[in-house]
Amino acid sequence: MTIERKVKEGGPFTWTQIQQFVKSNQLESFARSEEQFHNYQQFKTDLLAYGITLNDYVLNEELEWKQDDIRCQTSPATPSQEYSISQPQDLILYNDDDVKIIPNKFPYYFEDSVVHLCVWSKLTIPNDADSPVGDISPLTRRIIERYLEKTFIEKGVSEDNILWFKNWSSLQSVRSVSHIHVLLHDVDNGLIQKLLGTSGNTLTLEDYKESLDE
């Protein structure tokens, strides 16, 4: 199988460039440095030699979850009702046990002031049924932004120093476990360390009521 080489030539992506790509949803523009690309491919090759998939490695070693922990919403989502507070088991970023924040082991080629985290979810984050590339809906986007507001911004992170995105399905390396990417610029390392391995500040039913009423 031919491996697509997505390598960033020259220097790393600056925060200004990262902002432009995220805000314009040009996620396919992100790439790793030559060294990062080589290390990532070598890591996957080494896993393959032991019969381990990247999905299994992330699930078992980094998240310490079991495959049986991963689940979808119990009732089919519809365009008119993606989420219902009467079914809290189907609410993303709601149950502490469903969420974990960890560093991205193989981040893109960003300048040193940028920290790349991933927020993982046992409950599948649903794609927008109307998106041809597997993007998320405006409602799901609002819900995620409320979670990030509680977890990062209310703890002192400036809105100018945080970005997030969820790779479309066609861009994901790990597809069996839902996750979003969080990029922090010039953020206190002490705060980051406190959040690693935790669920962050998950949402309440009141948070959902506000989002669903918009």
- pLDDT higher for 75 or 16? 16
Residue 52 pLDDT greater than 70, yes or no: yes
Q: What is the pLDDT of residue 169?
A: 57
Q: What is the share, in percent, of the chain residues with pLDDT greater than 90?
A: 73
State mean pLDDT over 94-119. 96
Residue 172 pLDDT greater than 70, yes or no: no
Model confidence band, residue 32 (pLDDT cutoffs 50, 70, 90)? very high
State mean pLDDT over 186-209. 96
d(CA 96, CA 105): 23
Break the chain into its structural domains and give their ranges: 15-213
State mean pLDDT over 8-24. 95
Q: What is the pLDDT of residue 157?
A: 97
